[in-house]
Amino acid sequence: MNSLMIKALGFAVLLIVATIFVVMKLNIDIFADSVNALTMGGAIAIAVITSAVSVKYINQMKTDTASGQLSDDNWDGIGEYENELPSGWAYTFLAVFMWSMWYGFFGYPINAYSQIGEYNEAVLAYNAKFEETHKNADAATLKEMGESIFLVQCQQCHGATGDGLSGRAQDFTTHRSKAEVLSIINNGQNALAAFPGGMPAGMASGADAEAIAAYVAAGFKGDQPATFATCASCHGANGEGTPMVGPSINGYDIHNTLAKGKKGKIGKMPAFNTLITPVQEKALTAYVQSLAN
């Protein structure tokens, strides 16, 4: 046995002893359940295999010489040998793959207790109770709830008052600008997943488009242009929206943005569909809609 082998064995033993020391220090019973036993076995196997493989290939680097048939291709005179993949690598890969499949489907106790699982169950139970309690909440309650949600989830980018922090994010305290509405009329819109048909460009033009844009930007106040009938066929007589046809344009309809996220002025806003329940979304919408009134 050469000195390199002795050093490798010593290193493996040191790793195993250190692992056992840490486990004992933490008062973990290795054989209390299969997860602990598998973890300890894996740690020991990694220490032994790492040492053995290191010794093998370090020795090979000292003694082996290049051999085999050179490839026809070369780069600056440097070529590669057309040698097959070493069987040891192939068998090791196959063994690790088979073990990972066994561990993933059979070895790990997927039905066992976990703190994450308990937390997720508690959150789901609370959300169900919350939805049932507030499913018929009145407008004042929804607005109050929405303000609390906004201050926790939204104010970091949109500001505590929803003013968009001087243009860094969407400003909810004002209606869409006339220029923004005109851009949508002229260029169309197909960015909302709940409305797969999208809005084609050029639904109005010239003075008609100007009048519609001014009316929408003013928050649907004043005399409604006769040409708004073109918009009402999809968006509703008062811009309240029609399910699966056209979104609300009377105020900010935040459903699609919460569900899919949106590219904004300071980066991409992430989706919040897994963080907010339907009642919370309804409450947040009520609050955001009130900011521009």
Helix, strand, coil fractions of the chain, as percent rounded to 5: 60, 5, 35
> What are 4's two structure tokens?
């390199």
Q: Which positions ≥6 away from 201 have C-beta within 8 Å?
A: 185, 186, 187, 188
Amino acid at residue number 85: L
Distance CA(289)–CA(252), nearest Å, equals 6
pLDDT of residue 283: 93
Distance CA(183)–CA(186), nearest Å, equals 5
Q: What is the pTM of this model?
A: 0.54
The H or E element containing residue 230 is: helix 229-235
Return the SS3 of 262. Answer: strand
Backbone angles phi, psi at 105, to 5 degrees: -100, -25
Distance CA(10)–CA(2), nearest Å, equals 13
Distance CA(38)–CA(23), nearest Å, equals 13
Backbone angles phi, psi at 78, to 5 degrees: -100, 120
Per-residue model confidence as pLDDT tens for the chain (293 residues): 577 778 888 888 888 888 888 888 877 777 777 777 888 888 888 888 888 888 888 877 777 777 777 777 877 778 788 878 878 888 989 999 998 888 877 776 666 677 888 898 899 999 999 999 998 999 999 999 999 999 999 999 899 999 988 888 888 888 778 888 888 888 887 655 556 667 888 888 888 889 998 898 888 888 889 988 888 888 888 888 887 788 788 877 788 788 878 776 677 888 887 778 899 999 998 999 888 76
